[in-house]
Structure 1
Amino acid sequence: MPASLYNVAFGCADAYGLARFWSEVVGHPLDEEDRPGDPVAVIALPTGLHLYFENVPEPKNGKNRVHVCLRPDGPRDEEVERLRGVGATVVADRREADGTGWVVFADPEGNEFCVLRSAAERDRGEAVTCGGANSE
């Protein structure tokens, strides 16, 4: 019997602070019981998936072993600018002149994630890869 994905866990230095950033990214609130300084914070997404943030004592070292790719509801380039505005840092801009591609960001604690084209933008062009998988 297969298993269902329940959460994506982030080990971090500031669970509440990082969860607030990701709350802005995904447009959904933290759990109403989460408070600044809590060692754990959670964002429940309407899909049933949870983003789980937990304080860990060790710092992030090296490349992420799990990579999150986001598909925006609207145009990719507008989402890129919105994410810059909420504190994401561009690591690599892989956008192409023909409109394909993606942008690699880092969250405030250095966890990398990508923003792909929207479904509408993708329907107008050829799929390319992101993070080693054919997800763009």
Structure 2
Amino acid sequence: MTKINKKIIEIVNKAGRIGAIGTANKLGQPNVAYFGSPQLSEDGTIIMGLSSNRTLKNLEENPLAVFFCVAESPVTFTTPGYRLYLKVREIQKAGPIFDSVKKAIAEHAGPEAAKMIVAGVVFDVTEVRPLVAME
């Protein structure tokens, strides 16, 4: 796991931030989806709730993903943001992680949103890169 500094945690966990997760299936076919539920911990763990969608299907076939998040919009070359490279540690469709994800989503997005959640996914952050890397 990667230790995460507080600035990155603040941006990723900020209410209203913009985030998208990129995944690919076992054949490498990509998918990108907007997500509001990810929560990042200082120890380099991200937890998010997923419905029965392409993102979940891809993660069940290929555990690697990238979470792209920016603190605000419109997005420019100076907008604060990060790319977090992820690897699935666990996909839980019943149990304490699943229950806590559903509860958190119900509190923040409402019970209808929570009803759509079928899995709580735990990722390890393997790398963090700035939004714009001029290398």
The verdict on a shared fold, with TM-score over 0.5 as the criterion, is no
TM-score (structure 2 length as normaliser): 0.29
Question: Which structure carries more strand by proportion?
Answer: 2
Q: TM-score, normalised by structure 1?
A: 0.29
| Structure showing greater Rg | 1
Quick one: higher RCO (CA 8 Å, sep 6+), 1 or 2? 2
Higher helix share: 2
